[in-house]
Amino acid sequence: MYVQYKPKRGLLGTIFQVEILQGMALTLKRLFSKPITRQYPDVKPVIRPGFRGQHALVRDPETGDSKCIGCMRCAMACPSRCIRIRSHKGKEPGAKRKIDCYRIESLRCVYCGYCEEVCPVNAIVLTEVYEYGSYDRPSLYFTREQLLANWDRFVEEKGADMENYVNPFWRPRGLAEADLPAPKRLSVSAEWRGEEQVVGRKWQQQQAAQQD
């Protein structure tokens, strides 16, 4: 191994402390250069679609309530076990399951996005809201009402037509529409759908066709 040592400092370098002058010159140079850091909170970052921020339950515009059907898929897929759901089903024929309690402990969440990816009706979403710090723990333990209020806040901040809003986790890339539940067959570009990509079953079918 070759070790390169720093050249020995001469008498003038010792007297005038050249290293200190070099450091001060670098500091003076950076003092008048353009800053590379974002001056937050005066300058806000641009948040891209699919950013995993504050949790929310999507409000159904027809009923005004949550879209959640109580299938428990989000709770089962959650690796940190931070989702708690309690629901019931009426005794009358054809009755739908109703949500009694939906809670998310955001302090335990790892923001993986599995919950919104497996939800068959796109009821849960990690919004693009990132400013929601708090000084107490209970306020970050979101209840069903708080989650619906988070969605209302996101809609207000987004200021767009939310009927056509599509989160990337609602429509995973690389899956054909035939493999998705009906609510996840959203209108997106062909590149987003990824149906032209050779993956999984399609690759096996192409290999079988070439052998024939």
Per-residue pLDDT reduced to its tens digit, 45-56: 888 878 999 999
> If you classify domain 55-164 with CATH, what class do you get?
alpha beta
What type of residue sits at position 78?
C
Q: What is the mean pLDDT of the chain?
A: 84
Q: Which two tokens stand for residue 122?
A: 């796109």
Q: What is the mean pLDDT of residues 70-82?
A: 93
Residue-wise pLDDT for 171-209, tens only, equals 887 777 788 888 888 877 766 666 565 556 666 677 777
Q: Provide CATH 3.30.70.3270 ranges for the chain.
A: 55-164
Residue-wise pLDDT for 95-130, tens only, equals: 788 889 999 999 999 999 999 999 999 999 999 999
pTM tops 0.75, yes or no: no
Is the pLDDT at 10 greater than 80? The verdict is no
User: What is the average per-residue pLDDT within 14-25?
Assistant: 79
